[in-house]
Structure 1
């Protein structure tokens, strides 16, 4: 895991039930009288499709219907599937290639990774249409998975039908793309079209390594393109290029009626807006996306290091110094990623930059590092260092194999694409079992000279309970005006535009898929860690009460999640949901319109 107008949101919250719940309740009552809306069915219940009906679906999708079984379901030393899974448990590419597995194995007292009953391994939009129609007609719980990177467990559900888009991974480049029906309205732009099953490494390899341009995507190579864009989407360089959703020009979406819609600013503009940050799996199945590309900076680089303070007083002073340094020198489009404040009074530097030379980056950091070195209260556990490389090589696996092999981990399976690598720093996320996860957008007002003290006090108090990281690239304050404008025209919580950072406080354990042999998670310790994580975030929020949270990186148990995730945008999102999915076919827990369902998405809730 090393890896939103608040006043308006607060005023909106009390009326949300009146804006949203009656809409869905009215639809539920009307549809219920027509016999088309009801709770979903499970295997063995009346209404579950017959063998003949499943066979017909299989025929419709060209044989690409699979009955799913976890490789750990009956794990023995003689079971080759189980032994392969155990050998590849730390390989995110393997996990993504298994329809029955997910990139996160579960969350204590929240959810556990369990496969769907069946999956359509879609290879075309027609396969997706067939699966959507089948699920709707048979009242099935429907799940959509591309990359499978869901901390909240939204990309799997037992007893469901999975639309698995992994094999839809084509990437196409455009020199001058104009969305449908937008000729004469929008200027042609360089762009890339990516199918829903592609990962960001696929996009980066095609756009940057091979072509020398840039597309704003995610920081983790194995995250799915479609899921990240639908959640808003931040990457290491978002402080310059904005959110991934802000770069969306057009998308193909299969809606609950089985219709294939090409959506953009002209065609179905409300659905287009809603999928830009409204959360994946709630509004339809996105099958392809077209994103603008940008001129590539000359350089990308990073600054690493770790500083130990010898006392609480010295640590607080270090916090104050680095926050002031960030405000004066790093609060601009060049800098992203994070500072990590540990409980043991250490500060880890894990920053990236774009468009600067080695000398410029070193000169930027010199005042802060000189301040540290001039004081006996500090020592470098890991000496600060600046790394710079030509930007075209940032996702170039062969370049890293030759020059910095320790920074990457390759997919070591026979025949694996050579570009399929993982940042070594992301290895701890693979298969993780989450103990707790909290995030909060910190407003840029906290960087004012008269507020920095309050921020430092809250940071220090938070670290007495748990480590705290500030992800500067996941708050868009300080970004250029054009990037802010593109990101403003999305469904993300508007507080993200005023935030200088997203604070993340989280903890996890080793993979714990059901049935895995070996040691089981220490649930008591996991719950104790979760409590400390909550205490840490509660302390930090003393400086930012009511701060919103990023939907993709947030608390499973988030209270007032509509306002936390989407702020003042939620009523508009709810209206889009009602327009395009009035029967509630698409469901994710704490997703748009989920108020009308039980947490597992199977049971309709009575009107309150």
Structure 2
């Protein structure tokens, strides 16, 4: 797994079913505890939700001789290894984390068959959500038994928010409904689409294209459009043209921690609407769907570029990279987005796009800027490009992968939402990654410490007071409240307390999570409880 981060340059009446568990022990009930529901209780609960309860069977169990999950299957194990890095391998399950770090090497398909394989690091059960009723009944049951709850859609997640030892997952992946509509409100009147929480980017875009429309989705086409992606901000190839994904949301349909089905918009529950749009997923309520803006289809110019620097002086290689990133700023300001990466001696742009533009216009944008730079021997408006690329070069020398997205998400007036204010004056979002070793946990720990303690600080020194993309940050970020949420954090925390006073919804680095600590055995306890 690549440990990655984005540097951006950057009181409710409880319903009867949930009222039952008002005593609040210091720790969430954990498998094996006396409070853990019996087999009959789980069975009875499953009956109330139409058999939608799923017990966890780790994917990698076919690679192990543990008797808990069936026989070892060498052929199935070999097949699994070939697809293990693919997101679909994990998002089509209710429990498998895409980021292997959070499995703590249990049921690891790359370890010997007799290596440990238990459910200890995983969620214990999932509810395949089909409606608000499923959510409400699950919240009532988990509240009554004081069990940890996790919200998961596809599980595209660097920070372990969509998993948790001993938890019950509310799995929204199969909420795939879509509806085109004309939306009218005091802040927007025009075409829109209602999108279920489980709808992925490629599905939403296909539905929009069928109506000659566009919709903002992520650079990764398999993310969920209205789930943690939009709730955390969300960027994509149309971000410079239309803003972030959170800026597209007109209303949310949610189930609150109290079990209430709410329609949330700038006019209805405006504080919750504000928090959901950019304040982080899995935190304030369970999103069932969202209404998003759609736009007329348009031609788009796109280009790719790959440059091999292995045969040139490293200084020349990095000068070319710096030159490209500076020169692409006019394209970004015109509504384009450029995705680029540095991996060892290779630089690639995959791709650069200019929505509404032509090939000639894209080429003209780049060529005219290059000519001006050569003629005047000055950089385009970029106050610290030399220092930035000096830092990136030093980071690459430590065998880190560097990826960047050049964009301008503030070309249009941004709406009033909880997006980290650092996004609004950013030019580049930079991602750093280190390789993940599937057979040596100690090496992975060292690489994670390198990321947190050495690599990221080199960039942070260049952008004091800025922030990072909370969906793709470092889960060990020391001052994550400021870095991920900026000045919005105090207001977000007040909204969290109002809508989820008992902290039903916990996620790592989510608002309010500092009140909890996950112990070495995975047990989630209130910080300072001493248990």
TM superposition score normalised by structure 2: 0.83
Q: 1:541: Cα distance to partner?
A: 3.0
One of 158, 163, 170 as aligned partner of 1:156: 163
Q: How does 1:531-542 map to 2 (within 5 A)?
A: 533-534=451-452, 535-542=454-461
Match of 1:280 in 2: 281
- Matches of 2:344 and 2:241 in 1, distance apart? 31
1:348-405: CA deviation from partner (whole Å, max 9, x where unpaired): 23332122212222233335788999xxxxxxxxxxxxxxxxxxxxxxxxxxxxxxxx
- Matches of 1:595 and 1:528 in 2, distance apart? 24
Match of 1:271 in 2: 272
Change (3 A) 1:162 1:304: same
Does the CA contact (< 8 Å) of 1:70 and 1:101 recur in 2? yes
- Matches of 1:499 and 1:110 in 2, distance apart? 37
- Matches of 2:338 and 2:39 in 1, distance apart? 51
Does 1:492 find its partner at 2:419?
yes
- Matches of 2:242 and 2:344 in 1, distance apart? 33
1:475-524: CA deviation from partner (whole Å, max 9, x where unpaired): 52xx4223xx23xx2212101111111111112337xxxxxxxxx42335
Q: 1:284: Cα distance to partner?
A: 1.3
Match of 2:524 in 1: 602
Match of 2:91 in 1: 96
What are structure 2's unaligned runs of at least 5 residues? 12-18, 64-70, 109-118
TM superposition score normalised by structure 1: 0.73
1:220-242: CA deviation from partner (whole Å, max 9, x where unpaired): 11112212111111112211111
Does the CA contact (< 8 Å) of 2:276 and 2:418 recur in 1? yes
Match of 1:65 in 2: 53
What are structure 1's unaligned runs of at least 5 residues? 10-22, 24-30, 374-445, 511-519
The alignment partner of 1:228 has SS state of helix
One of 174, 183, 194 as aligned partner of 1:177: 183
Match of 1:318 in 2: 320
Q: How does 1:14-413 map to 2 (within 5 A)?
A: 35-36=23-24, 38-73=26-61, 75=63, 76-78=71-73, 85-86=80-81, 88-106=83-101, 114-174=121-181, 176-178=182-184, 182=185, 185-208=186-209, 210-225=210-225, 226-308=227-309, 310-327=312-329, 329-344=330-345, 346-353=346-353, 354-366=355-367
- Matches of 1:569 and 1:43 in 2, distance apart? 36
Matched residues, number: 487
1:203-230: CA deviation from partner (whole Å, max 9, x where unpaired): 111112x112111121111112212111
The alignment partner of 2:417 has SS state of coil
Match of 1:392 in 2: none
1:259-296: CA deviation from partner (whole Å, max 9, x where unpaired): 11110111111111111111111111101111111122
Match of 1:559 in 2: 478
Q: 1:84: Cα distance to partner?
A: 6.2
Q: 1:91: Cα distance to partner?
A: 4.3
Q: How does 1:462-481 map to 2 (within 5 A)?
A: 462-465=395-398, 466-473=400-407, 476=409, 479-481=410-412
Does the CA contact (< 8 Å) of 2:331 and 2:366 recur in 1? no
Does the CA contact (< 8 Å) of 2:176 and 2:199 recur in 1? yes
Does the CA contact (< 8 Å) of 2:301 and 2:362 recur in 1? no
Please identify, of 263-272 and 223-232, the stretch whose mean Cα deviation from structure 2 is larger. Answer: 223-232
Does 1:508 find its partner at 2:449?
no
The alignment partner of 2:467 has SS state of coil
Cα RMSD, aligned residues only: 3.3
